[in-house]
Chain A
């Protein structure tokens, strides 16, 4: 049973560029949440997707957007990258329909903005 997977593992971009990160949830899960973890900090909630819609959003600007596909996988897009967007981006899956609220995390994507 595959756990949560994320790609790519590492990414280097320059300021102003755009980036897309990908996540596949754990088998049997239908909900994907994205978190940003800056160095030395705890993860901060970006948004949550369920039934292909954004259900909850944290305190992040509109430069951060996402999508969920019919197979429950998800993408996180960040436009007009800033140096401060450098962080570990974590994806977590759970199941709202199955009332399985515990979130399981993937290995993360390390984004470096130069």
Chain B
């Protein structure tokens, strides 16, 4: 089945850019998502990209997709302490298939 891998930890200084990486195995993945989870909370949809796109920018967030390498990244510009959270990469083939998640990357922002 589908496998999604992420590095577990990332630490950055406030004001720097953060880059969180993700790899996946299913080339049929149609939608690729980034969700944010703060302590004790549910999942907040941050952004997503369709598989026919290479890049998507949304304010401080930039998503890059390399379909050949099955690699997805999320760049957060001007990282703030409020960005400290766990970030999950998730992939979806179609609406009636399961969303498959990575284990999450814990982002720590140092003031």
Q: Measuring CB to CB, which residues of chain A are less than 8 angstroms from any residue of chain B?
A: 4, 6, 31, 33, 35, 40-45, 48, 50, 55-56, 58, 90, 92, 94-96, 99-108, 110
A42-B88, A42-B102, A43-B101 known; A108 vs B95 contact (CB < 8 Å): no
Q: How far is the CA of A55 from the CA of B96 in the complex (A)?
A: 8
Contact indicator A106/B98 (Cβ below 8 Å): no
A41-B103, A43-B43 known; A33 vs B31 contact (CB < 8 Å): no
B77 at interface by CB-CB < 8 Å: no
Q: How far is the CA of A104 from the CA of B88 in the complex (A)?
A: 14
User: How many B residues are at the interface, by size bracket?
Assistant: 20 to 34
**Min distance, Cβ B44 to any Cβ of chain A, angstroms:** 8
A31-B95, A99-B95, A102-B31 known; A90 vs B43 contact (CB < 8 Å): yes
Cβ contacts B37-70/A at 8 Å (1 or 0 each)? 0001111110010000000000000000000000
Q: Give the 6 A-B CB pairs with smallest separation, nearest first.
A: A42-B101, A101-B95, A45-B98, A105-B43, A107-B42, A108-B42
26 contacts between A and B (CB under 8 A): A6-B42, A31-B95, A35-B99, A40-B103, A42-B4, A42-B90, A43-B43, A43-B99, A43-B101, A45-B99, A48-B98, A50-B96, A55-B96, A58-B98, A95-B95, A96-B95, A96-B96, A99-B95, A101-B30, A101-B95, A102-B45, A104-B45, A105-B43, A105-B44, A105-B45, A108-B41
